[in-house]
């Protein structure tokens, strides 16, 4: 579950998010739509604290975060392990296959062995019906 209450973020004098509140129950999907510059990416970056909100409360699963206070490193790590974000410019490693691009963070951030990471990466590709693309390089993959 994700719950946001009174989230605000400004850059200098430019208020980008003002008192944003919403709740997404576990298992539900929420789509953010709007014109360029509306604050969609800023909101997503605030949800995993890549941007620090000025005010507001975040709840992600069992984590409760008061954005007006310093967030301890352990809490920040727990939040980022419970969330994920795909950037618009996803910048895959051009010299690695799709499978290896998925396996790399499992090795470097999660401590998987190379074989464990490749096995899990293949399972993830199976989940989204992309196993045929496992050995392809980013230049040959569609952005969609």
Helical axes 114-127 vs 98-108, angle rounded to 10°: 130
Q: What is the 3-state secondary structure (H, E, C) of 30-62?
A: CCCCCCCCCCHHHHHHHHCCCCCCCEEEEEECC
The more confident residue out of 138 and 57 is 57
Q: Enumerate the H helices of the chain as residue ranges.
A: 40-47, 73-82, 98-108, 114-127
Whole-number pLDDT of residue 87: 66
Q: Where in the chain is the domain with CATH 3.40.50.300?
A: 2-82
pLDDT digits (tens, 9 = 90+) for 81-124: 888 776 666 678 889 999 999 999 999 888 999 999 999 999 99
**Cα Rg, the chain, nearest whole Å:** 18
Whole-number pLDDT of residue 65: 95
Q: What is the pTM of this model?
A: 0.66
Whole-number pLDDT of residue 19: 97
Whole-number pLDDT of residue 143: 67
Whole-number pLDDT of residue 82: 84
The listed CATH number (3.30.420.40, 3.90.230.10, 3.40.50.300, 3.40.50.620) that belongs to domain 2-82: 3.40.50.300
| Rounded Cα gap, residues 17 and 103, in angstroms | 35
Q: Tokens for 61, please give them.
A: 């699963």
pLDDT digits (tens, 9 = 90+) for 7-45: 999 999 999 999 999 999 998 988 888 898 899 999 999
What pairs with residue 15 in β-bridges? 10
């Amino acid at each position: 579950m994700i719950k946001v209450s009174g989230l605000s973020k400004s850059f200098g004098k430019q208020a980008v998010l003002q008192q944003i509140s919403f709740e997404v129950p576990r298992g539900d999907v929420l789509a953010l739509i709007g014109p360029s510059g509306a604050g969609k990416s800023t909101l997503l970056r605030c949800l995993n604290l890549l941007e620090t909100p000025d005010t507001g409360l975040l709840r992600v699963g069992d984590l409760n975060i008061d954005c007006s206070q310093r967030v301890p490193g352990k809490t920040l790590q727990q939040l980022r392990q419970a969330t994920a974000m795909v950037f618009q410019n996803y910048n895959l490693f051009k010299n690695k296959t799709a499978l290896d691009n998925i396996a790399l963070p499992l090795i470097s951030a999660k401590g998987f062995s190379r074989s464990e990471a490749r096995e899990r990466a293949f399972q993830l590709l199976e989940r989204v019906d992309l196993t045929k693309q496992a050995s392809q390089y980013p230049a040959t993959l569609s952005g969609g």
